[in-house]
Structure 1
């Protein structure tokens, strides 16, 4: 009997211990194989070209940018199925991930018992997400969601949301600029946009908002 063909999985995550644990878990399955892992957006394209994975697992927070942007890039250039793993609560990021082109979203706190199920679901061409997230995405697609009922954060772009998160995690403007490979002036512009969209008058208010929100999405 011919050996069963294994589906190749590429992991994009900048936490080595998590990658190792996830790889060991996935590789125990007869039909799945982690073909490689990379820690940055910059290295992902080369890894996809070289390893030819069947599915990509993407973290939201990467050392050189936002996983949502990477999802859009992979969808556009490769059309591969993707599963997003994140430490952040699904209430905001899951919808953005699915709208960007991912086929599934799972929180890292749930990853160990559910990741194999999620991977198989996505490989079959199905969507893996909670019923609440699926309903939100369906309403957004069919334009049934009342604009007045949306969170103020829904009007932020993915990049603005990333800057807000980094502010909340205590990064300075220069550190954010270095991390995202942008100029300090550009980050300053994002800060002003955030204050305007969130209706905050001062940067101190923006910092307080960002810290409160960052703590909330982690729990």
Structure 2
């Protein structure tokens, strides 16, 4: 539960290229998000649970779920994999937490 995740090195290049293609032209879309929505998505992409995110941001789990749902709706994201791909494209995952 340290918030880390593992990506097989043989898949990293393909995942990054896929994310770049998938989210080409999406760079400005994250500007539609609030600062809290960005932090929630970024930490979720890093593998944190809703409860862990709530604890670290000093907000309730329900508020985390609301921020996540609204951000997903704005960006058209449907899964943790979509969020990870988007976060990679935005360079949100550099340096971890």
TM-score category of the 2 structures, normalised to the smaller one? 0.5 to 0.7
Task: Flag the structure with higher strand content.
Answer: 1
Q: Structure 2 residue aligned with 1:175, among 37, 47, 52?
A: 52
Q: RMSD across aligned C-alpha pairs, in angstroms? A: 2.7
- Cα separation, 2, equivalents of 1:167 and 1:202: 11
CA contact (8 A) 1:195 1:203 kept: no
1:199 matches 2:76 = yes
User: When the two structures are superposed, what TM-score results if normalisation uses the length of structure 2?
Assistant: 0.57
1:215 matches 2:93 = yes
Q: Rg larger in 1 or in 2?
A: 1
Question: Any idea what the Cα deviations from partners look like across 1:76-122, whole Å, max 9, x if unmatched?
Answer: xxxxxxxxxxxxxxxxxxxxxxxxxxxxxxxxxxxxxxxxxxxxxxx
**TM superposition outliers: structure 1 runs of 4+ over 3 Å:** 215-218
Q: Secondary structure at the match of 2:93?
A: helix
Tell me: CA distance 1:191–1:160, structure 2 relative to 1, closer, same or farther (3 Å): same
Task: Give the unaligned 5+ runs of structure 1.
Answer: 1-149
Q: Secondary structure at the match of 1:165?
A: helix
Task: Flag the structure with higher helix content.
Answer: 2
- Cα separation, 1, equivalents of 2:61 and 2:34: 18
Tell me: CA distance 1:207–1:180, structure 2 relative to 1, closer, same or farther (3 Å): same
1:184 matches 2:61 = yes
- Cα separation, 1, equivalents of 2:33 and 2:76: 12
CA contact (8 A) 1:195 1:201 kept: yes
How many positions carry a matched residue from both structures?
Answer: 70
